[in-house]
Amino acid sequence: MAGSGNAHLRPRDQVLLQVEDLVVEFPAGRGRTVRAVSGVSFDLARGETLGIVGESGCGKSSTARALVQLPPPRGGSVRLDDVELTTLRGEALRRTRRRLQMIFQDPISSLNPRRRVRDIVSEGTRVWGAGGDRVDEVLEAVGLDPATAAVRRPHEFSGGQCQRISIARALVLEPEVVICDEPVSALDVSVQAQILGLLEDLKERYRLTLVFIAHDLAVVKNVSDRILVMYLGKMCELAASTELIERPAHPYTRALLASIPGSGLDLPPADRLIKGEPPSPVDPPSGCRFRTRCPRAASRCAEEEPEIRPLTGGHWVACHFPETA
């Protein structure tokens, strides 16, 4: 089947956010460059949650930060409605960022330890001169008592409570898209469940569109409408959450699912589906980047990079030899 390029993207008038051929690079010293994200494309319909999953170093967080232009991507397009974010600078970009907010991985280090909670949450409203009366509302929405929490500092709270403060800070400017960059990976399992449930409730209450990033498919599958799997800066697979879990097509996706303890999925052990360590992102393999760890790799995989192509309605995979059974 011929390559399909970006055919998996829906028409622009049907989506809120559309990302095409995103490229993010970082200097690696001695004249070398790491291409952390290489040609990634996806979109989000209004009210949808897209999960992005993969091992550490696959480019998930770099993708998240590129959406809000921190830093701007090296190449590609990021469109919010009819606004091309990559061309915005200065005041125009700052105003548009009100519509996209982020929740970061480490809830404690992302908060200024010297400031009180009310000052942290209201900072954005002071910058924009609006919405100050929403501070108590969003603190209550995330499960904190404004009367007592607002006057305390971050070190007086647990990690889960600090993440609730971070969520309140993100919501106070009434964003349309919230980018959750591994928001539960630093939390205890029981607290993870509470925060995930909170995000689901807030999504409905404030009609949010979410990008949810994690390295754990067990977490992502429970909160996402669709899931994008990344490996070493490239897209591997994109499908509706249930479809991806029940019929994984890419060998890497199958290995991630097989690694979930007690998943009950009918898959071979993970050590039969993936081998060795990830290659250096400074010098990625030719062709398919997963081929050096893939038990199904053939000579074609080294010679030709697989493009994302359709399997069934809404299920896309970048693999020369996908699992189709």
| pLDDT tens string 262-293 | 777 788 888 888 988 889 889 999 999 999 99
Asked if residue 294 and residue 219 are part of one domain, the reply reads yes
pLDDT tier for residue 112 given thresholds of 50, 70 and 90: very high
Rounded percentage of the chain residues whose pLDDT exceeds 90: 74
Spatial distance between the Cα atoms of 248 and 196, rounded to a whole number of angstroms = 24
Please tell me what DSSP assigns to residue 284: P
Asked if residue 291 and residue 182 are part of one domain, the reply reads yes
Lowest mean pLDDT among 57-71, 190-204, 271-285: 271-285
CA dihedral for 216, 218, 221, 223, sign (positive or negative): negative
Spatial distance between the Cα atoms of 190 and 174, rounded to a whole number of angstroms = 28
Asked if residue 83 and residue 215 are part of one domain, the reply reads yes
pLDDT digits (tens, 9 = 90+) for 76-104: 999 999 999 999 999 899 889 899 999 99
Q: How many residues does the chain have?
A: 325
Query: Parallel, antiparallel, or unpaired for β 309-312 and 315-317?
Result: antiparallel
With tokens 């889960």, the residue in question is: 160
State the pLDDT at residue 268.
Answer: 85
Whether 194 maps to a domain, the answer reads no
Asked if residue 66 and residue 92 are part of one domain, the reply reads yes
Residues 6+ apart with CB under 8 A from 137: none
Asked if residue 292 and residue 144 are part of one domain, the reply reads no
Asked if residue 310 and residue 218 are part of one domain, the reply reads yes
Residues in a beta bridge with 209: 177
Does the structure show a pLDDT above 80 at 105? yes
pLDDT tier for residue 168 given thresholds of 50, 70 and 90: very high
Asked if residue 216 and residue 170 are part of one domain, the reply reads no
Whether 2 maps to a domain, the answer reads no
Asked if residue 50 and residue 72 are part of one domain, the reply reads yes
Question: Which candidate, 2, 112, 3, 24, places its Cα nearest to that of 75?
Answer: 24
- Give the distance between the most distant pair of CA atoms in the chain: 65
Q: What is the domain range of residue 241?
A: 12-99+176-186+208-317
CATH number, position 28: 3.40.50.300
Whether 154 maps to a domain, the answer reads yes
State the pLDDT at residue 260.
Answer: 86
Asked if residue 259 and residue 130 are part of one domain, the reply reads no
Q: In this structure, what token pair is assigned to residue 176? A: 């349309």
State the pLDDT at residue 88.
Answer: 95
Spatial distance between the Cα atoms of 298 and 321, rounded to a whole number of angstroms = 9
- Cβ count within 10 A of residue 30: 6
- Last residue within a domain, chosen from 117, 152, 174: 174
Lowest mean pLDDT among 55-59, 151-155, 195-199: 55-59
Whether 197 maps to a domain, the answer reads no
Average the pLDDT over 176-187 and give the result. Answer: 94
Q: How many domains does the chain have?
A: 2
State the pLDDT at residue 3.
Answer: 43
Whether 4 maps to a domain, the answer reads no
State the pLDDT at residue 129.
Answer: 67
Asked if residue 311 and residue 246 are part of one domain, the reply reads yes
Task: Write out the H or E segment, with its range, that includes residue 228.
Answer: strand 226-231
Asked if residue 117 and residue 244 are part of one domain, the reply reads no
Whether 78 maps to a domain, the answer reads yes
Asked if residue 268 and residue 230 are part of one domain, the reply reads yes
Contact 131, 171 (CB under 8 A): no
Does the structure show a pLDDT above 80 at 2? no
Does the structure show a pLDDT above 90 at 127? no
In this predicted model, which residue has the larger pLDDT, 243 or 264?
243
Q: If you count DSSP H runs as helices and E runs as strands, how many of each does the chain have, helices first?
A: 12, 12
State the pLDDT at residue 132.
Answer: 60
Spatial distance between the Cα atoms of 313 and 243, rounded to a whole number of angstroms = 10
- Cβ count within 10 A of residue 317: 27
